[in-house]
Structure 1
Amino acid sequence: MKNILVTGRPGVGKTTLIKKVIKDFELDAGGFYTQEARKGGIRQGFEIVTLSGKRGTLASVNFNSPYRVGKYGVNLRDLEEVAGGAIEEALEKNSFLVIDEIGKMELFSEKFIFLLKKALESSVKLLGVIKLKDNQLTSEIKNRPDTVVYTLDRANFHLVEEKIKRDLGDQEK
């Protein structure tokens, strides 16, 4: 499959799995992942980290924005510049694109949605994380004929990891 996506509840290891697969396969990958931003052990928001090392704030309890998910204000500027820039760069330069994640915060951005659709239609292989609870767009993505979606939970981490590695191994042939 061209597009390999992982879904699951928060905290089951989706980002950890994506990072492990990239490292183990030494993929020619560009893109980004998200991680918690903590202060004093308390989650303050979420950070965007590109595979080339650039960073931005995806959302923060201290960020004033009309785009909100719970207590977090979403930073569309960093999302579009840092994550969007990483997507554009990967589509030009890499064999694989990592998008972690296709979630509620990211889907506030029309530019992100445009780049996501462009990536799905491109020849670049996509390895990503997609939100568990569907809306129309995520349902359409999950049901694409060129896309496989694995649901991760704490019990099946290694099984899903092996399936993804098998899928990637098949693509290398």
Structure 2
Amino acid sequence: MCAFEHHNSLSIGYVALKKSQNSLERRCRRLPRRTMAAVPSRFLLVTGPPGVGKTTLVMRVFETLRGSHPNLNIRGFYTREVREGGERIGFEVVTLDGRTGPLSSCKVSRERMRHNEGIFQPSRKIRPEGIEPGSWMFDEFKNFCNLDILTHTIAFWFFCSPESVRWPTVGKYKVDVASLESLAVPELQVKEETDLFIIDEVGKMELFSSAFFPAVMRVIESNIPVLATIPIPRQGRDIPGVARLRNHPGAAVFTLDTGNRDTMRDTICSQLRSLLQKR
């Protein structure tokens, strides 16, 4: 065989091999899409800007499913505004069976603070010597602790007054951690008879509770469908706990806006019905 014929034979073989490789790659790329379509995610996350209607959407989905499947065992909670004279003064937690409790308020009475005093018992000496409120070191540490929720929580435990530890603040609101843990956290107990969990929401206020996020993770790692809401990143920065949920490999994230609310509800209802039929 001459050199030209040998080179031509190698070229033909290379082209055939390349075609076979491309065909295999196309088949492999198609396989995950078919698998994902056949097995929809059981962890549904709704996100969107404040006031867009995340809670309204979740409650409409809940009412739709309860209307079509009255025997479903749905556990969880949602949050709603508390208003006084047209002004929002806080938020409250509402369980799906109708029980309510305060989540946060800008009008927390001293009596309520004293009532919850026995629940959190941090040491009176919780600031290292030399770092006192008003000092430059204290101010520098507070600026550093604005980075994320973890350092913010550390700041409360080590540098703030005992009252601030029991009643952390988000903006003008004081968060009632004890109320959240006594009402919402028990609703997140994983039980075999539960068909669906609804969690509205996993946000900055809720994450001040050391018991809340582990309870959420146990729910997600169970085999029970979950519908939850999370806030959007603020100024491009996500709360670490929220980011962990958003990036969870089993999560399907739905971004809500004013133009897709109706279609989003139908999509989520359809996906949950499909999941519930397989249980």
Normalised by the length of structure 1, the TM-score is 0.93
Q: Say yes or no: does 1:78 pair with 2:179.
A: yes
Check conservation: 2:181, 2:209, Cα contact below 8 A: yes
Aligned partners of 1:86 and 1:140: how far apart in 2? 21
Please, which of 141, 145, 160 is the counterpart of residue 245 of structure 2? 141
Unaligned runs of 5+ in 2: 1-40, 67-71, 114-162
Which residue pairs with 2:56 in the alignment? 16
2-structure distance, mates of 1:122, 1:78: 25
Partner of 2:138: none
Q: Distance in 1 between matches of 2:84 and 2:201?
A: 22
State the structure with more CA Rg: 2
SS at match of 2:63: helix
Identity of aligned residues (%): 39
Output one character per residue of 1:72-99: Cα deviation in whole Å (capped at 9) or x when no partner: 00000011110111112xx224211111
Unaligned residue ranges in structure 1 (runs of 5+): none
1:166, CA displacement in angstroms?
Answer: 2.3
Distance 2:98 2:63 in 1: 15
Displacement of 1:146 after TM fit? 1.4
SS in 2 for 1:124: coil
Provide the rounded CA distance (Å) in 2 between the counterparts of 1:166 and 1:115: 27
CA distance in structure 1 between the aligned counterparts of 2:176 and 2:206, rounded to whole angstroms: 9
TM-aligned CA deviation for residue 145 of structure 1: 2.0
What pairs up with 1:68-107 in 2 under 5 angstroms? Answer: 68-88=169-189, 91-92=190-191, 93-107=193-207
Higher strand share: 1
Question: Structure 1: which 4+ aligned runs deviate by more than 3 Å?
Answer: none
- Alignment RMSD (CA, Å): 1.4
Give the one of 75, 98, 104 matched to 1:30: 75
- Say which of 116, 119, 126 aligns to 2:219: 119
Q: How big is the shift at 1:167?
A: 1.3
Q: Which residue of 2 aligns with 1:160?
A: 264
For residue 23 of structure 1, what is the amino acid of its counterpart? E
Number of residues of Structure 1 aligned to a counterpart in Structure 2:
171
Q: Aligned with 2:258: secondary structure?
A: coil
Take 1:16 and 1:162, find their aligned partners in 2: how far apart are those partners? Answer: 13
User: Which secondary structure does the structure 2 equivalent of 1:110 belong to?
Assistant: coil
The residue number in structure 1 matching 2:86 is: 41
In the superposition, the TM-score normalised over structure 2's length comes to: 0.59
- Who is 1:4 aligned against? 44
